Structure 1
C-alpha cells in the first residue's frame, strides 16, 4: 500500500516529541498533525497543518467526546491513508474511527514504559496494524509488537 497522506496524532510534550523524531519518515509526505494547542506544539509545528484537540484527556469523558467529534471532522476532511501516534489518550478516538474507515494504524509505545503497558497502548493494541516498542522487555507486555529500538 502506498501511503500518500499521514496523520500524526499525539499529546503535546513527550508524545509529540516522539512523533517529531520520526521526521525522516514523514518529512516528504503530505501530512497533518493533531495535538494540544500549547506553546511547545505551536513552536515545534510552525508551518505545519495542525488541528487542535481538547485537553486534559486522561480519564476525562467530556474531552473524549469532544475529541471524538474532532476526529470525525478531521478524518473526513483529510482522508489519511495512515495514522501514527505515540499517545496519549487523544489517539483513542482517532484510531477507533480511522479503523472503522479502513485506515492503517501505527502506534509507538512510549520509551519510558519498559515493563508495564500504558492505558492508551492497551486500548489501541487490539486494532492497530503495527504496534512498535522501543525495548525488548516491552514485547513481554505486547506479544505482537515489533521492537525497532529507541527513536531517541
Structure 2
C-alpha cells in the first residue's frame, strides 16, 4: 500500500491472492477479485487466472494494469494488450542480482518496467529506476 499516492484518486480494481493481509488492506475497496494460487509452475491455475483476467479486463476496462509481480501478472499483461490497456511492471525490492521469472515473462508485454534499485536496471532494457517503494 506504499503506492497509495499513485492510486488513491483513481478508479481501480484489485486482483490478488486471498491472504489475511490482502483481505485486511483491501477491506472497503469496491472492486476486488481473488486470484487462484499457487501460481508457480501450476498450469491449471494459470488457465484459471487467464479466465479471471479476461473477465476483469472486459468488465472494468482499465487504462493501465500495474503489477508488482507474482505469477498471476502474466495472463493480465497478455490480455491487457488485447483490450488496449497499457502495462506497468514493478520489479520486486529484494532481487538485485537476477531478474525474477515473472519479470522476465512479463517484460515483452510491459509498456513501462520499473525497478527499485539501480543495479536492477541492467536486468531489463529501458527500465526506469523508481527507488525503494516500501
TM-score (norm 2): 0.96
CA distance, structure 2, for counterparts of residue 140 and residue 54 of structure 1: 32
Shift >2 Å, 4+ stretches: none
Determine if the alignment matches structure 1 residue 145 to structure 2 residue 127: yes
Determine if the alignment matches structure 1 residue 59 to structure 2 residue 41: yes
Determine if the alignment matches structure 1 residue 125 to structure 2 residue 93: no
> What is the aligned partner in structure 2 of residue 46 from structure 1?
27
> What is the aligned partner in structure 1 of residue 14 from structure 2?
33
Give the Å deviation of 1:126: 1.5
Pick from 77, 88, 93 the counterpart of residue 95 of structure 1.
77
Aligned length: 133
> What is the aligned partner in structure 2 of residue 134 from structure 1?
116
RMSD of aligned C-alpha atoms? Answer: 0.8
> Per-residue displacement from partner, 1:60-118 (whole Å, max 9, x unpaired)?
00000000000011110100000000111000001100012211100000000001000
> What is the aligned partner in structure 2 of residue 7 from structure 1?
none
Structure 2 stretches lacking a partner, 5+ long: none
Structure 1 stretches lacking a partner, 5+ long: 1-19
In terms of fraction of residues, the more strand-rich structure is 1
